[in-house]
Chain A
Amino acid sequence: MVEELDEEVHISVPTDERMTSVVRLATTAVASRTGLNLDQADDLNTALDELFRFSITQESKPASSVFRIHYNIHADCLEVVTEGIGVSFTDEASKVGRYCRFILEKMMDSVTDKPNPAGGLDVHIIKRISQG
C-alpha cells in the first residue's frame, strides 16, 4: 500500500544509450522532489539505468523505440513504471534478464511486472522514503 498520489511526472526518451544521462538527470530531480536521500536516489538511478540499458539490448527486443517512464510521487514513496521492456526480463533462461531483476529487487522495495497491451512488459518499482 502506498499513500495517496501527490504528483505525476512522465518522460519519454529514445531507446538510445546516449539518453542515459537524460534519464539520470530526470530521476535525480524527481527523487529530490520526493525527498529520497542520496543513497536512495542513487539506488533508484542504478535500477532505472539497468532497466533502460536492458530495454535497449538486443536480448530485450524492445517493443518500442521510445522508453517511457512514469514517476508517481507519494508522501511515503516514489513509484516508477517503465513501459514495454522485453519479456526476457521474466524469462528464467535469460541471464541478462535475471541479472536485471536481481539488481532491481536488491535496490528497490518492490518490483512487479505485467504485460503491456502494446507488447513487452511494464515494470512497476517502488522506493520508499526511509526516515532518519
Chain B
Amino acid sequence: MPKRSQKKLAREELLSLFQTYNENKDPKVKEILVGSYMNLVHSLARRFANRGEPLDDLVQVASMGLLKAIDRFDSSRNVQFTTYAVPTIVGELRRYFRDRSSTIRLPRGLRERSHTLNMAIQNFSQEHGRSPNIAEIAAAVGITEEEVIEGLEGAEATNVASLDTTTDDGDLSLLDIIGGEDKTMRLLDERLSLAGAMSSLDSREQNLLYLRFIEGLSQTEIADRLDISQMHVSRLLRRTLKLLRQDLTSKEPYRS
C-alpha cells in the first residue's frame, strides 16, 4: 500500500498527471497519483473507524476506491478530482460494511437506536460521574425500558469489538492505548493461579483484565481512562474473557 504523500503536488501538476494517465494509463503515473491522495484515503477511512473493523482494513478498502476513482476520472471535465473521488471512496467503504462487516444484520432502526443509546450512556456518565441504569437511559432517550434493553443486547449480538479497533481520535489502536507490561501477566497469573493460561492473551488484553480485576475499576472508569465508551469496554472485556476461557477449556483434560 502506498504511504501517505510526502510531497504535496501543485494543482496544475496533478491535472497534468491526470491528463497523462488518461492518455497512456502509465502505472508509474498512477502510483504517483495514488501517493498524492493517500491522506484523503486515511481521512475517509478514519470516518468509518470505531465500527468494529480494523483501520488498516478500512484503509485498504478506501485505497481500492481511490484506484477506481483514478481509473474512471476524466480530467477533461472541469471537475476537481476530490469532488469525484470522495463519493467513490465512501461508497466503497459503505459497501464493505454492508457486505462483510457483520454476520448478523440488524434492522436500520435498531442500529440507529444502539448508536443513540451509546451517546446517551456517555453523556449521562460524564454528567453524573456514574453509570446510568436502564430507566435513566430510557428517560434520557425518550423510549421505553424494553426498547433500551432490545437496543443494548441487539448491539452486543452484532458488534464484536476488536482490540485493533481504532479510537475516535484516529490512528491509535486500543492496543496502543491500553499498553502492555509483563508484570500484568505475572500478577494475574498469581491471582488466578492459572500459570500459562494468560500467555494465550496478548499483553494489552492482559492489561484490560488487570484494570478490571486487579485495579478493580468499573467499566465506566475504564472507559474514562481509555477514552472509549462503556459499551466498547463491555465488548472488549467479553471478548478477552472468551479468549481466556477458550484457552483454558482446550487445555483442561477431561476428568471422569
- A interface residue numbers (CB < 8 A to B): 21, 24-25, 28-29, 31-32, 35-43, 46, 49-50, 53, 57-59, 88, 93-96, 98-99, 102-103, 106, 132
Interface-forming stretch among B41-49, B56-64, B161-169, B237-245?
B237-245
Q: How many residues of B are counted as interface, with CB atoms below 8 angstroms from the partner's CB atoms?
A: 41
Q: Which 4 A-B pairs have CB atoms at the shortest separation, nearest pair first?
A: A32-B134, A39-B131, A37-B131, A38-B131
Partner of B194, one of A21, A36, A38, A99: A99
- Contact check, B133 vs A99: say whether CB atoms are below 8 A apart: no
**Which residue of chain A has its CB nearest to the CB of B216?**
A106
Partner of A39, one of B149, B153, B219: B219
CB neighbours (8 Å) of B252 from chain A are 59, 94-96
Nearest chain A CB to B256's CB is how many angstroms away? Answer: 9
CB neighbours (8 Å) of B191 from chain A are 102
A61 vs B153: C-alpha distance when bound (angstroms): 29
CB neighbours (8 Å) of A42 from chain B are 219, 234
- Contact check, A46 vs B241: say whether CB atoms are below 8 A apart: yes
A132 vs B248: C-alpha distance when bound (angstroms): 37
| A-B CB pair tally, cutoff 8 Å | 92
Complex interface bits, B125-167 against A, C-beta within 8 A gives 1, otherwise 0: 0000011111111000000011011001100110000000000
Partner of A36, one of B133, B193, B230, B255: B133
Known: A21-B153, A46-B237, A46-B241. A57 touches B249 (CB 8 A): yes
A32 vs B137: C-alpha distance when bound (angstroms): 11
A109 vs B244: C-alpha distance when bound (angstroms): 23
Nearest chain A CB to B242's CB is how many angstroms away? Answer: 9
**Which residue of chain B has its CB nearest to the CB of A49?**
B238
B10 at the interface (CB under 8 A from A): no
